[in-house]
């Protein structure tokens, strides 16, 4: 038992994680490119037209995966924040801050594509209903985290402040997810539910899932390459960094 | 008790407290967070008196086109219905039997005068052939009953 725990902790050292992150990053990027290319081809050419919305509905193949990822990345950041606070591992905070820009990008993408879908379908770019407002708050939480982390020079303090902000903001995630159930909203309810069948054609569903996994791999790839930069920056005084071939050469 | 167990306890207690606070806040706000009121709430005067949003289904067969861009239709929630009058451009998804949200106020004659109409989409996505097949099946079932 104890040996297995030790094994996991081995990777919490930046020096061990740095080369591993490089390998994971490259492979995730390859998977991301393949899945997103296939997913986009299916979204535009394979998936059938919707009976009511016509061709305009195709924006959901970017909108829904982006919205899911924006919530999921936040939960992963909360997970790393908890680990960071409990175990005081430096790598946890580095992972949190490596994920934040990708999460913010997906949050923005979901709001932006949602507005483009809303104008023709609902007749408006934006309304202040519970779903849209809580999703906007999520975007601001990402920006707030990035700003707070950047504003404090001492990394130990900025890590701690950032982790607390992420944990306080985590209450927003169930609110976003259940907002369409708890209140009357203009936004429609969930098509893909945790229980029961999806109210969607199977080809449409597969296309959406492929796009989701593509975005997922992309998020891993960007987070890994970002965490490598953060490791190099924070550990620049150490011997192991100065001995890296890419640093020496 | 190690320091890290203590920190874990703080996080659990903190998150539970935060969750409770959020739950109490949302519960207190309750209806104010809803984007629209149903025809039942509007007819029973449960909503605010002035400018409100009314949401429901456009009653099939109730759509009437008046002069120029004026349209009249009834919004229903199967229990009550409210007559709506609107002058302007309707969104693409607007149709009889479709969800709709109208923003405006009641006039003296009990007609809801809307200044904005939004279409509400449902969570179903399917190709036209499937929708057609579903409708055919529905019509057959209805026909068999009669």
Q: Nearest by CB to B118, which of A51, A85, A122?
A: A122
Note whether B36 contacts A: Cβ–Cβ < 8 A. yes
The answer, yes or no, to whether residue B113 has pLDDT greater than 70, is: yes
Residue with tokens 């081809």: A41
Residue A138 Cα, gap to closest chain B Cα (Å): 15
Cβ contact A201–B130 (<8 Å): yes
Q: Note whether B26 contacts A: Cβ–Cβ < 8 A.
A: yes
The ipTM of this complex is 0.78
What is the Cα–Cα distance from A24 to A20, expressed in whole angstroms? 6
Helix runs in B30-100, H state only: 39-43
- Please write the tens of the pLDDT for every residue from A1-41: 455 555 677 778 888 999 999 999 999 999 999 999 999 99
Which residues 73-102 on chain B approach chain A with CB closer than 8 angstroms? Answer: 89-94, 101
d(CA A199, CA B30): 28
- With contact defined as beta carbons under 8 Å apart, do B3 and B9 qualify? no
Q: Does B127 touch chain A (CB under 8 A)?
A: yes
**Which 3 state secondary structure label does DSSP give B105?**
strand
**First and final C-alpha spacing in chain B:** 75
CA nearest to A185 within chain B:
B35
What pLDDT score does A199 carry? 77
User: Between A and B, how many CB-CB pairs are < 8 A?
Assistant: 117
User: Which residue, among A87, A61, A68, A72, has the nearest Cα to A210 in the 3D structure?
Assistant: A61
**Smallest CA–CA separation between A41 and chain B, in Å?**
18
Distance CA(A100)–CA(A102), nearest Å, equals: 6
Question: Any binding-site annotation on B80?
Answer: no
Contact B120 A120 (CB under 8 A): no
B121 assigned binding-site residue: yes
Average pLDDT, chain B: 83
pLDDT at A1: 45
Under DSSP, is residue B113 helix (H, G, I), strand (E, B) or coil?
A: strand
**pLDDT (tens digit per residue) in B1-35:** 688 888 889 899 999 999 999 999 888 887 677 78
Q: What is the pTM of this model?
A: 0.87
Contacts of A87 in chain B (CB under 8 A): 4
Chain A positions touching B92 (Cβ under 8 A) are 53, 56, 120-121, 123
For A65-121, how does the pLDDT look when each residue is reduced to its tens digit (9 = 90+)? 999 999 999 999 999 999 999 988 889 999 999 999 999 999 999 999 999 999 888
CATH of B35-120, one of 3.90.226.10, 2.40.50.140, 3.40.1390.30, 3.40.50.300: 2.40.50.140
Chain B: give the shortest CA distance to residue A30, in Å: 31
Residue to mutate among A121, A123, A163, with most B CBs inside 10 A, is: A123
CB environment B39-74: b (16+ within 10 A), e (fewer)? bbbbbeeebeeeebbbbbbbbeeebeeeeeeebebb
Using pLDDT thresholds of 50, 70 and 90, give the confidence band for residue A169. very high
A184 to B123: CB separation less than 8 angstroms, yes or no: no
Least confident piece of the model among A103-112, A114-123, A157-166, A168-177:
A114-123
For B65, phi then psi, to 5°, come to -95, 125
pLDDT at position A152 over 50: yes
Of the partner residues A48, A129, A186, the one whose CB lies closest to the CB of residue B127: A48
Kindly list the domain boundaries of chain B, sorted by start residue.
1-33, 35-120
What's CA A79's distance to the chain center, in Å?
A: 13
Instruction: Read off the tokens for B19.
Output: 């969750």
Nearest to A129 among B8, B15, B35 (CB): B35
Nearest neighbour of B128 by CB, restricted to A51, A171, A191:
A51
- What is the rounded average pLDDT of the residues B49-63? 85
Predicted confidence (pLDDT) at residue B70 exceeds the cutoff of 90:
no
Higher pLDDT, A147 or B98: A147
Q: How many helices (H) and strands (E) does chain A have?
A: 10, 0
Residues in contact with A239: Cβ distance below 8 Å, sequence separation at least 6, in sequence order? none
Count of domains observed in chain A: 1
A53/B37 touch (CB, cutoff 8 Å), yes or no: no
Model confidence band, residue B142 (pLDDT cutoffs 50, 70, 90): low
Q: Is residue A106 part of a domain?
A: yes
Contacts of B131 in chain A (CB under 8 A): 51-52
Q: Which residue(s) pair with B71 in the sheet? A: B65, B86
Distances in Å between the Cα of B120 and the Cα atoms of A50, A51, A184, A185, B58 are 16, 15, 11, 9, 11
In a domain, A13, yes or no: no
The domain of A211 spans 21-48+56-248
Query: Does residue B40 register a pLDDT over 50?
Result: yes
Query: Given CB atoms, is B24 within the 8 Å cutoff of chain A?
Result: no
Instruction: Write down the number of H helices and E strands in chain B.
Output: 3, 6
Q: Which two tokens stand for residue B63?
A: 């759509």
For tokens 């987070």, the residue is A223
pLDDT at A163 > cutoff 50: yes
Question: Cα(A205)–Cα(A190) distance, rounded to whole angstroms?
Answer: 13
| Main-chain dihedrals φ then ψ at residue B95, nearest 5 degrees | -165, 165
Give the total residue count for chain A. 249
Contact state of B37 with A184 under an 8 Å Cβ cutoff: yes
Residue A176 near residue A110, CB atoms below 8 Å = no
DSSP letters for A209-235: HHHHHHHHHHHHHHHHHHHHHHHHHHT
CB atoms under 10 Å from CB of A59, counted, come to 19
Task: Point out the residue among A87, A175, A188 whose CB comes nearest to the CB of B121.
Answer: A188
């Amino acid at each position: 038992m104890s040996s297995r725990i030790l094994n996991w902790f081995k990777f919490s050292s930046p020096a061990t994680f740095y080369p591993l992150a490089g390998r994971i990053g490259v492979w995730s990027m390859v998977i991301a490119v393949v899945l997103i290319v296939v997913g986009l081809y299916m979204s535009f050419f394979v998936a059938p037209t919707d009976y009511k919305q016509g061709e305009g509905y195709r924006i959901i193949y970017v909108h829904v995966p982006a919205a899911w990822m924006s919530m999921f990345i936040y939960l992963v950041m909360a997970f790393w924040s908890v680990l960071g606070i409990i175990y005081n591992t430096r790598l946890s905070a580095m992972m949190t801050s490596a994920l934040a820009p990708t999460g913010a990008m997906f949050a923005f993408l979901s709001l932006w594509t949602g507005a483009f879908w809303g104008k023709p379908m609902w007749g408006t770019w934006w309304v202040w209903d519970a779903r849209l407002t809580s999703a906007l708050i999520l975007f601001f939480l990402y920006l707030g985290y990035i700003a707070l982390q950047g504003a404090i020079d001492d990394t130990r303090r900025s890590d701690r402040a950032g982790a607390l902000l992420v944990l306080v903001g985590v209450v927003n995630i169930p609110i976003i997810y259940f907002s369409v159930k708890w209140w009357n909203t203009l936004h429609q309810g969930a098509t893909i539910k945790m229980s029961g069948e999806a109210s969607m054609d199977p080809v449409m569903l597969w296309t959406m899932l492929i796009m989701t996994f593509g975005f997922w791999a992309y998020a891993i790839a960007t987070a890994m390459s970002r965490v490598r930069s953060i490791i190099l920056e924070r550990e620049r005084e150490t011997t192991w960094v100065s001995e890296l071939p890419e640093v020496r050469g | 008790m190690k320091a890290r167990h203590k920190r874990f306890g703080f996080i659990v207690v903190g998150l539970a407290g935060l969750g409770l606070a959020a739950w109490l806040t949302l519960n207190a706000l309750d209806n104010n967070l809803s984007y629209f009121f149903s025809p039942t709430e509007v007819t029973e005067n449960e909503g605010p008196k002035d400018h409100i949003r009314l949401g429901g289904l456009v009653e099939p067969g109730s759509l009437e086109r008046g002069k120029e861009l004026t349209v009249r239709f009834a919004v229903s929630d199967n229990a009550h219905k409210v007559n709506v009058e609107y002058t302007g451009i309707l969104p693409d998804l607007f149709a009889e039997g479709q969800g709709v949200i109208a923003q405006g106020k009641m006039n003296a004659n009990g007609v809801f005068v809307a200044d904005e109409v939004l279409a509400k989409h449902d969570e179903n996505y399917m190709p036209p052939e499937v929708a057609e097949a579903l409708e055919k099946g529905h019509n057959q079932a209805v026909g068999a009953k009669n």
